[in-house]
Amino acid sequence: MTTAMARGPDHFVVLATLGDAASAHLWAARLESEGIETKVHGDGLGPYPVTVGGLAATQIWVLESRIDEARHVMLAAEVDQVMEVGSSDGEPGRPGVRLVALVLTVVLVIVVARAVLWLF
């Protein structure tokens, strides 16, 4: 497969290669919701899908004139996802209450265990 598809004055180029078709289709839907036309290609698509190793790789193609915008959409979505990890109390970017409680519990167990071992 080449890295560019001929299509009139503007042509499609590979934006990303993902490990599975489901992820590629989700990203394509996200890009299309922003008005960016996409095409999804890979051996994992079609009547006899290949889903093992590198053969499962699926590419997302976008118009060359929209590639910077598409990269921005993907980057913004990744940053948003990272900021939400660990946030169970609804405030993005801050650790959730459960995460803090877990860390404090682990620290307390370690301190108590060291104190008990020191006594014996």
Nearest to 15 by CA among 46, 36, 43, 45: 36
Query: How many domains are there within the chain?
Result: 2
Shared domain check, 68 and 27? yes
Shared domain check, 73 and 36? yes
Shared domain check, 79 and 110? no
Q: What's the mean pLDDT in 80-92?
A: 60
Nearest to 10 by CA among 72, 61, 75, 74: 61
Shared domain check, 68 and 12? yes
Shared domain check, 11 and 36? yes
pLDDT at 63: 95
Tens of pLDDT, residues 22-74: 889 999 999 999 999 999 998 777 777 777 777 778 999 999 999 999 998 88
How does the average pLDDT of the chain come out, rounded? Answer: 79
Backbone φ/ψ region at 90: left (φ over 0), alpha (ψ -120 to 50), beta: left
pLDDT at 85: 62
Tens of pLDDT, residues 4-14: 555 556 899 99
pTM over 0.75: no
Domain housing 47: 4-84
